[in-house]
């Protein structure tokens, strides 16, 4: 089965980069990324590559090579669906904020809308690919909608979950650990799987392309994120013990990470994980387990979230306790707002929740992040609905310069592990802060000995 045109519905963090790399590696295939958000599409089409809606190292070069050749960004959703042989669904699947499963289940309304739109517009056979992170058996719902159109069009449904880490998304796409493709194990289903395998095989070795059935593919994505988040919460669960006993969490992590059965990845103590996937996917997994009566399994995975939330709260409380039990009227400088370095994504960032707790204690937060805009920071804090927007604006100041953000601060908190933070003139920062000058290193990235020599009171996670 030969594919000449691909359509991707959704120009976000997954759809945009993934389709850009597919287009780059398959110049003979036309790739159209569509989205109803005109501003987002305009940004993808901007001549100034610094204005792409997503910051990912290396993405600008990929877009520059393929855009206008065989990669196109458009708001013409209907036209792209009609033209395409293969359609990727890459829309948002947030946690439900209403009804059954509120706070846990995935909200699939956008996925269903995509399926209904495809069913309405398609006049020729299509392969429909789930790219969004979805609960097990979602493909069954998509298939039911598509197969009951009465138009005589044949649809094959595939699951092709993404395994991207923000900040290294282009690298992960160009040299993936694996590509997972699930589909029906029928003659037509296997042909559809082969068509998608051939697209990836233009640059990914075939032994790294795993094929399976639909349900195994859907569950594998949730499981991967759950396991990674579990490792973060596991190492963070030991940080309090280290602080209480005099152990050093970095030494502990190194010692256990050298065990080949464990490995060193995702064992970095921190203020906790954030991003669009880990919490959402674990909550989804918890909901699925509970809905099937698997309470023990649900409780096990829910504890990963509980530990992550505790770590954020504990960090905020440590700042309050260290500053003599009160931060009222005090300035706390934040270095970083994105949930991790090398991305402008702030979804579920620890910074939002730590700032919220400190503002509740009447602290004034002064923030610097090299990629996150002031508009986004205010939106994130207001989104918690802890207080009015006017009240938040009185306590949150955003700076374009790290030195002004820390000027006159009683303490600074490192929230994101941006590499540039290690290169600052820390003597200059110390001179501009109120004494005693506290550093709360929420990512354990700074040189403790050098900072204490200057005069800082340095506090890190788990040591």
pLDDT tens string 161-198? 999 888 999 999 999 999 999 999 999 999 999 999 99
Is residue 139's pLDDT more than 90?
no
Amino acid 334: pLDDT: 98
Across the chain, what does the average pLDDT equal? Answer: 94
Q: What is the pTM of this model?
A: 0.87
Residue 150: pLDDT band (50, 70, 90) is low
Helices 295-322, 278-291: inter-axial angle, 10-degree rounding: 140
CATH code that applies to domain 246-460: 3.40.50.720
Residues recognised as catalytic: 277
Lowest mean pLDDT among 148-152, 278-282, 351-355, 404-408: 148-152
Amino acid 134: pLDDT: 67
| Rounded (10°) CA dihedral 158, 159, 163, 166 | 80
Amino acid 385: pLDDT: 94
Indicate the fold that domain 5-212 takes in CATH: Rossmann fold (3.40.50)
CATH 3.40.50.720 in the chain, residues? 5-212, 246-460
If phi over 0 gives left and psi between -120 and 50 gives alpha, with beta otherwise, what is residue 324? left
- Cross-strand bridge partners of residue 331: 364
CA gap 364, 283 in Å, rounded = 32
If phi over 0 gives left and psi between -120 and 50 gives alpha, with beta otherwise, what is residue 187? alpha
The mean per-residue pLDDT over the stretch 425-432 comes to 98
- Tell me the pLDDT tens digit for each residue of 57-81: 999 999 999 999 999 999 999 999 9
| Rounded (10°) CA dihedral 216, 219, 221, 224 | -100
Terminal Cα-to-Cα distance of the chain (whole angstroms): 58
Residue 135: pLDDT band (50, 70, 90) is low
Is residue 101's pLDDT more than 90?
no
Is residue 392's pLDDT more than 90?
yes
Lowest mean pLDDT among 128-137, 261-270, 332-341, 409-418: 128-137
The mean per-residue pLDDT over the stretch 411-437 comes to 97
If phi over 0 gives left and psi between -120 and 50 gives alpha, with beta otherwise, what is residue 355? alpha
Lowest mean pLDDT among 115-124, 338-347, 418-427, 446-455: 115-124
User: Could you tell me if 90 and 18 are in contact, meaning their C-beta atoms sit under 8 angstroms apart?
Assistant: yes
Tell me if residue 106 falls in helix, strand or coil.
Answer: strand
């Amino acid at each position: 089965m030969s594919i000449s045109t691909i359509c991707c519905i959704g120009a976000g963090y997954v759809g945009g980069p993934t389709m850009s790399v597919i287009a780059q590696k398959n110049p003979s295939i036309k790739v159209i990324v569509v989205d109803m958000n005109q501003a987002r599409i305009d940004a993808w089409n901007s001549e100034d590559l610094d204005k792409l809606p997503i910051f990912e190292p290396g993405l600008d070069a990929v877009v520059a090579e393929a855009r206008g050749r065989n990669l196109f960004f458009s708001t013409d959703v209907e036209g792209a669906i009609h033209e395409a042989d293969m359609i990727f669904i890459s829309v948002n699947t947030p946690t439900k904020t209403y009804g059954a499963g509120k706070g846990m289940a995935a909200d699939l309304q956008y996925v269903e809308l995509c399926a209904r739109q495809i069913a309405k517009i398609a006049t020729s056979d299509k392969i429909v690919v789930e790219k969004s992170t979805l609960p097990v058996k979602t493909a069954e719902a998509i298939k039911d909608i598509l197969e009951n159109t009465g138009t005589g069009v044949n649809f094959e449904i595939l699951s092709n979950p993404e395994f991207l880490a923000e900040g290294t998304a282009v690298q992960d796409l160009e040299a993936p650990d694996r590509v997972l493709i699930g589909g029906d194990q029928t003659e037509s289903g296997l042909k559809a799987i082969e068509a998608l395998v051939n697209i990836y095989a233009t640059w990914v070795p075939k032994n790294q392309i795993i094929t399976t059935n639909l349900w195994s593919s859907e569950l594998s994505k949730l499981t991967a994120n759950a396991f990674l988040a579990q490792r973060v919460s596991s190492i963070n669960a030991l940080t309090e013990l280290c602080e209480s006993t005099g152990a050093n969490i970095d030494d502990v992590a190194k010692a256990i990470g050298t065990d080949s059965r464990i490995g060193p990845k995702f064992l970095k103590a921190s203020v906790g994980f954030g991003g669009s996937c880990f919490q959402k996917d674990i909550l989804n997994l918890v909901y699925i387990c509970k809905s099937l009566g698997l309470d023990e399994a649900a409780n096990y995975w829910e504890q990963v979230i509980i530990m992550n939330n505790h770590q954020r709260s504990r960090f905020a409380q440590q700042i309050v306790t260290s500053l003599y039990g009160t931060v009222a009227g005090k300035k706390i400088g934040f270095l970083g707002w994105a949930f991790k370095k090398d991305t402008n994504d702030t979804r579920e960032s620890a910074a939002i929740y730590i700032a919220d707790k400190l503002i509740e204690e009447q602290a004034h937060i002064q923030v610097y992040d090299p990629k996150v805009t002031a508009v986004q920071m205010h939106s994130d804090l207001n989104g918690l609905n802890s207080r009015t927007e006017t009240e938040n604006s009185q306590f949150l100041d955003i700076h374009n310069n790290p030195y002004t953000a820390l000027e006159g601060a009683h303490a600074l908190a490192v929230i994101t592990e941006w590499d540039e933070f290690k290169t600052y003139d820390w003597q200059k920062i110390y001179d501009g802060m109120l004494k005693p000058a506290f550093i709360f290193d929420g990512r354990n990235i700074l040189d403790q000995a050098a900072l204490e020599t200057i005069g800082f009171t340095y506090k890190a996670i788990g040591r």
